[in-house]
Structure 1
């Protein structure tokens, strides 16, 4: 039986600028990793010319109950570039095998099914204990609010 994990990316604030004009076009990519393999990727819409984007977008992932504790979610904030490679601005992770806030948030969500659990994350350049090189493009910065719920 599969459960549905809802991740709502609410907003980001104080993003570091990666472009000369000082106005990035941020969006968030969310990777579902299970047992070290990328299973699924979803992303928000691009928000143009802002260091304080408001996303308010829900992303849905169906996860079999037997795999729920083997799942990690990698969130990457990217700067959309029309004619170049998109620039990495920062990342965060959520899951039972993540160190720190992402693990605490995951455990709280698991203990309170069907209840939204909102958490702010500080973006980093990498995630301790997670190798982004194999399955996910690497780099990172500062995400505001995340609301997750497992049904």
Structure 2
């Protein structure tokens, strides 16, 4: 079973203010990363432009759960001219590990060059300015999700 889990978040863009608000709502059915069978997941959000990471934010860590609830809001400033072009939002669910390296469980990458639900969510956000649009996304393997970042 190679399912990594699903994540739900909302996107809201205010063109006049050039402000993108991401609310990480919850994740479910996360893949077990620890021997104990539970994870300590948090969500990392990266704003990427032209392949470069501009800003990073992260949620709090939820202990011992595969179905974490966050409801945490993050804002990024992106001028309207830029958001329609080479901007990607990379959302990664990470299993926090105090001792070793925190391992990514799965990821989704949104933007104009995305496809499927990732592209639809981004397009819906741009089509409905100032309205938060929430959607579920299926987590992908981080390398697979990042493949769109390398497209020219």
Range of TM-score over shorter length:
0.7 to 0.9
1:52 to 42, 46, 67: 67
Q: CA deviation at 1:94?
A: 1.3
Q: CA deviation at 1:130?
A: 2.7
- For residue 10 of structure 1, what is the aligned residue in structure 2? 25
In 1: Cα distance, 2:36 partner to 2:81 partner: 48
- Indicate the RMSD between aligned Cα atoms, in angstroms: 1.2
Q: CA deviation at 1:97?
A: 1.1
Q: CA deviation at 1:65?
A: 1.8
Structure 1: which 4+ aligned runs deviate by more than 3 Å?
Answer: none
- Taking a change above 3 Å as real, the CA distance of residues 71 and 2 of structure 1, as seen in their structure-2 partners, is farther
Are 2:97 and 1:81 aligned? yes
Q: CA deviation at 1:2?
A: 5.2
SS of the residue aligned with 2:32?
Answer: coil
In 2: Cα distance, 1:40 partner to 1:93 partner: 15
In 1: Cα distance, 2:117 partner to 2:21 partner: 18
User: Residue deviations 1:34-58, cap 9 Å, x none?
Assistant: 1111100101000000000001001
- For residue 129 of structure 1, what is the aligned residue in structure 2? 148
Q: CA deviation at 1:129?
A: 2.0
Q: CA deviation at 1:62?
A: 0.6
Say if 1:99 and 1:129, in contact at 8 Å, map to a contact too: no
Are 2:49 and 1:34 aligned? yes
Comparing 25-34 with 61-70, greater Cα deviation is found at 61-70
- For residue 95 of structure 1, what is the aligned residue in structure 2? 111
Say if 1:29 and 1:41, in contact at 8 Å, map to a contact too: yes
Gaps of 5+ in 2: 1-15
2:134 to 107, 118, 123: 118
What is the TM-score when the length of structure 1 is the normalising length? 0.83
SS of the residue aligned with 2:123?
Answer: helix
Q: CA deviation at 1:64?
A: 1.6
What is the TM-score when the length of structure 2 is the normalising length? 0.82
